[in-house]
Amino acid sequence: MELKCAYQTYHWGRPGSSSAVAQLVAAGQPEFTLSEETPYAELWMGTHGSGPSVLASSGQPLADYIRENPQVLGERVLAKFGVQLPYLFKVLSVNTALSIQAHPSKSHAEELHAARPTVYKDPNHKPEMALALTPFEALCGFRPLEEIQHFLKAVPELSAAVGAEPAAALLAVSAAEPAARDRLRDCLQALMTREPAEISRQLDSLVARLSAPGDSAAASDPLLPAELVLRLSQQYPGDVGCFCALLLNRLILQPGQALFLGPNEPHAYLAGDCIEIMACSDNVVRAGLTPKFKDVATLVSMLTYECRTAAQQLFLPTSGGGDERVQVFQPPVPDFSLAKIQFVPEMENTEYTVPVRDSASLLLVVSGSATSGATVVGRGSVLFVPANEKVTLRLAGRQEVLMFQAFCQL
């Protein structure tokens, strides 16, 4: 069943035809009119109330169709999650940085929702996975402790923003010591609760120094992400989140590489286009790079403070059950899985059978053209596939096929 899906025009989205979201919507929805001035940020595929998908043939909301036909979800999904699609599938096009944030665990989400339902609007966790469509830049997880200690010594504005006492305490521990996580937490808390005027003053000083012609600090320190600090400070002047570029790993994912963001891990998307899949939740705890509500106390208390290298943040796929055209990204949560299907047909009019899943799945076509019965499928098409249903595509030519299949593997 073909779907018509919602899109979001948040301020951080990529403008006009530079946005993968706009490109996919324009290709898949003939009535869509693209504006080059509009920031197209997200394409939503699923049943979430803030951007529900509808059946293209009738306009019926997918959520209503599922309620009327619960068997389409599959027996295991029904038993575990009830009559609802347990995941939300998206495409993101990021032009300016999203907030420094983390997502609570299931039990913590229930506590936050009970205490502050107007801020944390549901009791669910929000693990998520991002897979790059284009080179995709993000901050994710704390840097190795040695790198953070290096910046505390090499960047006087950071140590001043943190404060002498917590900075000295972190410099005095090694990564192997149990106290290291507590000292890192103390530093983050001190940084995030410093007077905004002092943060702005130190950030202005750092920006001026990094912007100076022939600045020796930026030129001589290969670890220092000078360009990123300057870019973030332009997007969010005086924001404490700009200093997080020195605390968190900076990654540039190449197309096909992925990140899994579990509970209590700090992260921020910075630039590029990606596929994203997550549990159905809106729970976000923010602390920087945002004009929105910042819940610093909650964020500082919930993080794991696990330090890892940038390479260790990458999430690797498994094989697709013997099919070399398929890579499956199976995170350590039951809510969702993601399959990347990519190949060049050997000849025209080749038939390809989409992997059959025992859960309902959503299929997004990024490139390639085909027919499925009477339905013409091409770039921007989104199909809802009931559990255990076989979908065979007759490919129209020898153009590379790239599709993503969201499903629930229990």
Q: Please name the amino acid found at residue 353.
A: T
The residues near 289 (Cβ < 8 Å, ≥ 6 apart) are 97, 98, 99, 100, 232, 235, 236, 239, 241, 242, 244, 268
Instruction: Decide: 231 and 268 in contact? Cβ < 8 Å.
Output: no
Residue 116: per-residue pLDDT: 87
CATH number of 3-140+252-292: 2.60.120.10
Percent of the chain with pLDDT strictly greater than 90 = 83
156-160, 198-202, 346-350: lowest mean pLDDT where?
A: 346-350
pLDDT score of 50 more than 70 = yes
pLDDT in tens, 166-186: 999 999 999 999 999 999 999
Please provide the average confidence, as pLDDT, over all residues in the chain. 94
pLDDT in tens, 91-102: 999 999 999 999
DSSP state of 333: S
Residue 216: per-residue pLDDT: 62
Q: Per-residue pLDDT averaged across 132-142, rounded?
A: 98
Q: Per-residue pLDDT averaged across 142-148, rounded?
A: 98
pLDDT score of 220 more than 80 = no
DSSP, collapsed to helix, strand or coil, labels residue 182 as: helix
Residue 219 pLDDT class (50, 70, 90 cuts):
low
Annotated binding-site residue? 128:
yes
- Tokens for 326? 């398929």
> Is 379 a residue of the active site?
no
Annotated binding-site residue? 150:
no
Residue 217: per-residue pLDDT: 62
The model's pTM is 0.95
pLDDT in tens, 319-377: 777 889 999 999 999 999 999 999 999 888 889 999 999 999 999 999 999 999 889 99
Phi, psi of 280 (to 5 degrees): -75, 95
Closest Cα to residue 349, out of 392, 395, 391?
A: 395
Q: Which of 250, 286, 379, 394 is catalytic?
A: 286
**Which of 59-68, 115-124, 212-221 has the highest mean predicted lDDT (pLDDT)?**
59-68
pLDDT in tens, 105-132: 888 989 988 888 888 878 888 899 999 9
pLDDT score of 71 more than 80 = yes
CATH number of 145-238: 1.10.441.10
Q: Per-residue pLDDT averaged across 72-78, rounded?
A: 97
Q: Delimit the domains of the chain by residue range.
A: 3-140+252-292, 145-238, 319-407
Annotated binding-site residue? 351:
no
Going by CATH, does the domain composed of 319-407 fall within 2.60.120.10?
A: yes
Annotated binding-site residue? 113:
no
Closest Cα to residue 246, out of 230, 227, 224, 262?
A: 224
Do the first three CATH levels of 3-140+252-292 and 319-407 match, i.e. the same topology? yes
pLDDT in tens, 306-322: 999 999 999 999 877 78
